[in-house]
């Protein structure tokens, strides 16, 4: 029989000597000596495509691998192994353990050969790509097994090898190595010592291992760094990835590559490689230590600071709170002292005003001896009253000392005058108590000195008052001598010695301590506060002097006060005269006369303006007035003033705001605040940029001294006592009725106005402005503008004081306080009463009108004179020449005028009193 087959795939000899030829499509040809027998699908085989025939000597069978079955031939018979699990098989090999390894398209099956023969396969193994086979087996290609048991399999991507005899005893020969180490993408090579040296870096380190396995197994591999930050990777060899670290710490590491047994219990094979990572600077122990110390120190410092600040803050808060409490208490005290001193000052002012009237009495019709003694008493009263006022001011000083606000107020003073004012005050008390009072004053004391005379006076007065108080019999003495002197300074020693009760030795220490009164039992009847000597000592120290005491208990004491003063006029004072009679009587002599000097006075209250004008009349300075801050600024821009006096409390821009603007235009112009609030004091106004302040009611001497300082020498004229002033000495007869007005104190008014002429002017102005002011007050109140209302009430207070309307002044003061405290209840309850009281002055002062009404007995004005007056006014009003306009109005008032002109001058007079220059100009222009 001829062989028909297209292609023999496999040949094998069976034990009977026949050759079995497997074909790709014809089944098997059994070739025996002389005959060929075909076995195919028709006679036993399941497939005609025979892939492989394998001789199995042990069982004496030939295994046939067909394209869809495993069969075997034994004794000429073909048996299909139906229990074989797969049917696209290619090849078959046997290992030493009698297992058949069947290569298939799915993988490699390992089946017990006996089980196959018996067609009873229940257990088998299959190795695929998933669990060990490196490549898929190529279809229809044969494997090869050498005599050592190595099975080579044709795979799709290469040859896979497995030793099928040794496969189960675990002796694998897998090649392992480090594939690559990268640090920051830079490849690291092994050095000569076979160490991988990774440089210092913070970046990424990638370590890959290669596990080269030509077997079909895919063992579990463990890759880890000994000393590294983690446990590494355990995975199948085929899935092995790189170890990756970022910021791997420096140090020596060992890279372990391990092949693990199935289940990972055993390490079957291991290779170890050395890796070293260099330290970064920051990783060095020393550097770390230093950094640690640094960080610890900084942390410690921060904690310490926070704690310190917390402690300090707490303490600061506490101190601040206490300070605020103390300040509040102190403010309350200052306010109380200010109020009480005001209460006391008012009656003293009355006494002084009356006394002033006595001193201005005309001596001509009185016997000289009588007049002189009256004058002496009057001077004693004045000195005593002044001292008393001084003491009241010192009461304010106590609070100033305690709050550290006490400062020296130094100026020139007349030594005799100072001592005289002290002695006169004490003389009265000595006489009252029938004590001798010896005054020994060194004749060689300098005539004028420079220092804080008020404080010296207070210290000496206190020592003398104590001498009077603590001496029952005998007397005391004042001894003032000059201890030393040079060209500039004199050291003055003031001793007050008494024959009083004396001071116990043990009490000496407490003598100059505040609130300490000694020997209470014996002194129980004597009034005192225990403050006097403490203030005296503090004043003495403030002036750079000392004060001490020498005493024998029961016999008497001597207090010695030593102080150095600058000499202004070194001429000696000569014999001390207690009563200076040369001072009695005579017209007021101003300190200076300066007709060319220009002064600007700014106050919203025209009455205050008129008082200042009145006070300065004798000095002949040219006074320009302004009723608002804004207007004052304009005037200062255009004018050239020597001094500006600026009211603090004004509607619109107040004094402080106005000053700020003035300073922008003229930084150096001397500006003084006019204020009723003397408690704020010099320091406050200086801090706001003022050169100083003048307390209302303005004292003529202070006003003159203040202004004088700023008037240039070339504008000064010597003040001549005789023609210095044309001040009226008494009220005109047609005004005497004013004494009968119940609510007006004429002496107080005259004093507050600065003279009789100013007083008359003020009365007139007060009367004229009642309607207009009432309207403004009512409007402010109705509109709820409490600030304006308060400012206007403040103005009313000043005006009332200027005319001596003390009741109205007090009422307005209370309303002002309510306004400042925004006390709507008080304002609402009393506003109408105040307005009624204010309006009542229209009637009380009604007779002013009569005085102003043209008198029929007056001579009719000559036509020429009237014409001249109109002409002069046309020139003078635009120049705001106050004095000349006043003079013309005065001269016109002596005549009777035609009705039309009378009306014109009445209106002009009204506008003049209001300083309404624009109004006056408009009026004179319409009259042309
Ligand atoms: P006071 O208002 O009590 O007089 P001072 O501070 O002036 O307060 O004096 C303190 C105390 O010193 C007095 O209370 C008195 O006991 C004592 N003292 C002061 N001056 C004399 C003196 N000339 N003779 C005796 N004791 C005096």
Mean pLDDT, rounded, for 63-87: 88
Q: For the ranges 303-312, 502-511, 673-682, which has the lowest average pLDDT?
A: 673-682
Indicate the top mutation candidate among 426, 462, 505, 511 to test ligand 1's pocket, ranked by most ligand atoms within 8 A of CB. Answer: 511
The pLDDT of residue 446 is above 80: yes
36 lines ligand 1 (CB under 6 A): no
How far apart are the C-alpha atoms of 557 and 499, rounded to whole Å?
A: 7
Q: Which residues have C-beta within 8 Å of that of residue 274, sequence separation ≥ 6?
A: 193, 194, 195, 196, 252, 253, 254, 255
**Residue 502 Cα to ligand 1 middle (Å):** 10
Report the nearest atom of ligand 1 relative to the CA of 496: 23
498 lines ligand 1 (CB under 6 A): yes
The pLDDT of residue 902 is above 50: yes
557 lines ligand 1 (CB under 6 A): yes
Report the nearest atom of ligand 1 relative to the CA of 502: 25
How far apart are the C-alpha atoms of 239 and 631, rounded to whole Å?
A: 98
Tokens, residue 481: 């001598």
**Residue 509 Cα to ligand 1 middle (Å):** 12
- Name which residue sits closest to atom 8 of ligand 1, judged by CA: 530
How far apart are the C-alpha atoms of 319 and 68, rounded to whole Å?
A: 105
Q: Which residues have C-beta within 8 Å of that of residue 84, sequence separation ≥ 6?
A: 69, 70, 102, 109, 111, 116, 121
**Residue 12 Cα to ligand 1 middle (Å):** 150
* β-pairing verdict for 251-260 and 267-277: antiparallel
Report the nearest atom of ligand 1 relative to the CA of 514: 6
At 124-183, the pLDDT tens digits run 888 877 666 777 888 776 788 898 888 898 888 788 888 887 764 444 566 788 888 999
**Residue 193 Cα to ligand 1 middle (Å):** 105
556 lines ligand 1 (CB under 6 A): no
532 lines ligand 1 (CB under 6 A): yes
At 696-750, the pLDDT tens digits run 767 777 888 889 889 888 888 765 544 444 556 677 777 878 887 878 888 888 8
pLDDT band of residue 492 (cuts 50, 70, 90) is very high
List the domains of the chain with CATH numbers.
8-163 (2.130.10.10), 175-283 (2.60.40.10), 407-583 (3.30.565.10), 592-723 (3.40.50.2300), 733-926 (no CATH)
**Residue 517 Cα to ligand 1 middle (Å):** 6
- Name which residue sits closest to atom 19 of ligand 1, judged by CA: 466
398 lines ligand 1 (CB under 6 A): no
- Name which residue sits closest to atom 21 of ligand 1, judged by CA: 466
Q: DSSP assignment of 181-248, as one string? A: EEETTEE--B-TTSEEEEPS-SSEEEEEEEEE--SS---EEEEEEETSSS--EEEEGGG---EEEESP
511 lines ligand 1 (CB under 6 A): yes
**Residue 745 Cα to ligand 1 middle (Å):** 40
Report the nearest atom of ligand 1 relative to the CA of 530: 8
755 lines ligand 1 (CB under 6 A): no
Mean pLDDT, rounded, for 465-470: 92
DSSP state letter for 136: P
530 lines ligand 1 (CB under 6 A): yes
- Name which residue sits closest to atom 4 of ligand 1, judged by CA: 528
Q: What pLDDT does residue 890 have?
A: 81
529 lines ligand 1 (CB under 6 A): yes
**Residue 340 Cα to ligand 1 middle (Å):** 24
* β-pairing verdict for 446-451 and 475-485: unpaired
Q: Which residues have C-beta within 8 Å of that of residue 892, sequence separation ≥ 6?
A: 861, 866, 869, 905
The pLDDT of residue 224 is above 60: yes
Mean pLDDT, rounded, for 339-350: 69
Residue 719, preceding bond cis, omega within 30 degrees? Answer: no
- Name which residue sits closest to atom 23 of ligand 1, judged by CA: 467
**Residue 518 Cα to ligand 1 middle (Å):** 7
474 lines ligand 1 (CB under 6 A): no
The pLDDT of residue 415 is above 60: yes
Q: What pLDDT does residue 722 have?
A: 40
How far apart are the C-alpha atoms of 466 and 478, rounded to whole Å?
A: 12
**898 to each of 470, 576, 767, 886, 904, how far by Cα in Å?**
74, 63, 25, 20, 10
């Amino acid at each position: 029989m001829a062989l028909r087959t297209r292609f023999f795939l496999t040949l094998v000899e069976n034990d009977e000597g026949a050759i079995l030829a497997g074909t790709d499509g014809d089944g098997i040809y059994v070739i025996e000596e002389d005959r060929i027998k075909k076995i195919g699908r028709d006679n036993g085989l399941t497939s005609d495509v025979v892939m492989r025939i394998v001789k199995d000597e042990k069982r004496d069978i030939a295994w046939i691998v067909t394209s869809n079955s495993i069969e075997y031939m034994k004794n000429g018979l073909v048996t299909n192994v139906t229990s074989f699990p797969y049917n696209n098989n290619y090849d078959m090999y046997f290992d030493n353990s009698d297992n058949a390894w069947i290569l298939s398209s799915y993988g490699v099956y390992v089946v017990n050969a006996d089980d196959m023969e018996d067609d009873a396969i229940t257990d088998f193994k299959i190795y695929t790509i998933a669990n060990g086979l490196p490549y898929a087996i190529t279809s229809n290609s044969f494997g090869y097994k050498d005599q050592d048991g190595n099975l080579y399999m044709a795979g799709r991507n290469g040859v896979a090898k497995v030793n099928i005899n040794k496969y189960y005893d675990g002796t694998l020969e897998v090649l392992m190595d480090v594939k690559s180490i990268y640090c920051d993408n830079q490849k690291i090579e092994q050095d000569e010592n076979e160490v991988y040296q990774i440089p210092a870096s913070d970046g990424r380190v990638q370590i890959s291992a290669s596990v080269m396995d030509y077997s079909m197994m895919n063992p579990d591999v463990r890759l880890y760094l000994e000393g590294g930050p983690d446990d590494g990777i355990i995975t199948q060899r085929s899935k092995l990835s790189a170890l990756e670290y970022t910021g791997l710490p420096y140090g020596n590491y060992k890279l372990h590559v391990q092949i693990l047994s199935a289940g990972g219990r055993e390490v079957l094979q291991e290779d170890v490689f050395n890796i070293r990572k260099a330290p970064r600077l920051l990783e060095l122990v020393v550097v770390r230590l230093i950094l640690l110390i640094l960080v610890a120190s900084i942390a410690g410092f921060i904690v310490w600071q926070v704690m310190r600040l917390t402690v300090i803050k707490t303490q600061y808060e506490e101190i601040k709170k206490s300070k605020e409490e103390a300040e509040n208490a102190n403010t309350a005290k200052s306010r109380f002292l200010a109020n009480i001193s005001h209460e006391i000052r008012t009656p003293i002012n009355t006494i002084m005003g009356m006394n002033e009237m006595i001193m201005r009495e005309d001596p001509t019709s009185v016997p000289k001896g009588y007049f002189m003694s009256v004058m002496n008493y009057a001077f004693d009263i004045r000195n005593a009253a002044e001292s008393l006022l001084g003491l009241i001011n010192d009461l304010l000083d106590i609070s100033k000392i305690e709050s550290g606000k006490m400062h020296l107020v130094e100026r020139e003073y007349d030594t005799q005058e100072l001592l005289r004012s002290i002695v006169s005050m004490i003389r009265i008390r000595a006489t009252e108590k029938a004590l001798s009072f010896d005054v020994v004053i060194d004749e060689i004391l300098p005539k004028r000195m420079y220092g804080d005379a008020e404080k010296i006076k207070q210290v000496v007065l206190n020592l003398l008052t104590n001498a009077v108080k603590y001496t029952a019999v005998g007397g005391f003495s004042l001894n003032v001598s000059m201890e030393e002197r040079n060209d500039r300074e004199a050291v003055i020693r003031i001793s007050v010695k008494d024959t009083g009760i004396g001071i116990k030795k043990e009490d000496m220490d407490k003598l100059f301590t505040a609130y300490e009164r000694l020997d209470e039992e014996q002194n129980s009847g004597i009034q005192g506060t225990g403050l006097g000597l403490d203030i005296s000592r503090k004043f003495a120290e403030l002036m750079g002097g000392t004060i001490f005491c020498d005493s024998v208990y029961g016999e008497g004491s001597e207090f010695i006060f030593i102080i150095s003063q600058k000499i202004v006029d070194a001429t000696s004072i000569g014999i001390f005269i207690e009563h200076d009679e040369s001072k009695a009587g005579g017209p007021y002599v101003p300190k200076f006369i300066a007709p060319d000097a220009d002064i600007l006075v700014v106050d919203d209250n025209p009455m205050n303006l008129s008082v200042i004008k009145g006070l300065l009349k004798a000095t002949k300075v040219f006074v320009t007035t302004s009723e608002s801050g804004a207007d004052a600024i304009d005037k200062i821009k255009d004018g050239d003033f020597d001094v500006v006096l600026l009211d603090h409390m004004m509607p619109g821009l107040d004094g402080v705001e106005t000053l700020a603007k003035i300073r922008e235009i003229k930084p150096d112009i001397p500006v003084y605040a006019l204020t009723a609030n003397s408690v704020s004091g010099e320091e406050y106004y200086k801090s706001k940029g003022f050169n100083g302040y003048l307390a209302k009611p303005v004292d003529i001497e202070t006003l003159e001294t203040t202004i004088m300082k700023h008037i240039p020498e070339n504008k000064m004229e010597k003040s001549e006592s005789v023609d210095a002033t044309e001040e009226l000495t008494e009220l005109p007869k047609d005004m005497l009725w004013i004494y009968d007005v119940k609510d007006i104190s004429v002496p107080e008014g005259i004093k507050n106005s600065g003279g009789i002429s100013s007083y008359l002017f003020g009365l007139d102005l007060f009367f004229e402005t009642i309607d207009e002011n009432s309207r403004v007050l009512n409007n402010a109140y109705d509109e709820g503008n409490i600030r304006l209302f308060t400012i206007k009430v403040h103005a009313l207070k000043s005006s009332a004081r200027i005319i001596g309307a003390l009741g109205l002044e007090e009422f307005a003061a209370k309303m002002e306080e309510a306004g400042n405290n925004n006390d709507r209840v008080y304002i609402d309850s009393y506003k109408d009463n105040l307005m009624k009281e204010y309006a009542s002055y229209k009637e009380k002062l009604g007779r002013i009108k009569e005085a102003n009404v043209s008198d029929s007995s007056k001579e009719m004005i000559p036509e020429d004179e009237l014409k001249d007056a109109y002409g002069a006014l046309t020139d003078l009003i635009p120049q705001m020449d106050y004095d000349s306009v006043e003079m013309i109005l005065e001269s016109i008032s002596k005549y009777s005028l035609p009705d039309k002109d009378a009306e014109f001058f009445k209106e002009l007079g009204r506008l003049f009193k209001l300083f309404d220059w624009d109004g006056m100009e408009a009026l004179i222009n319409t009259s042309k």
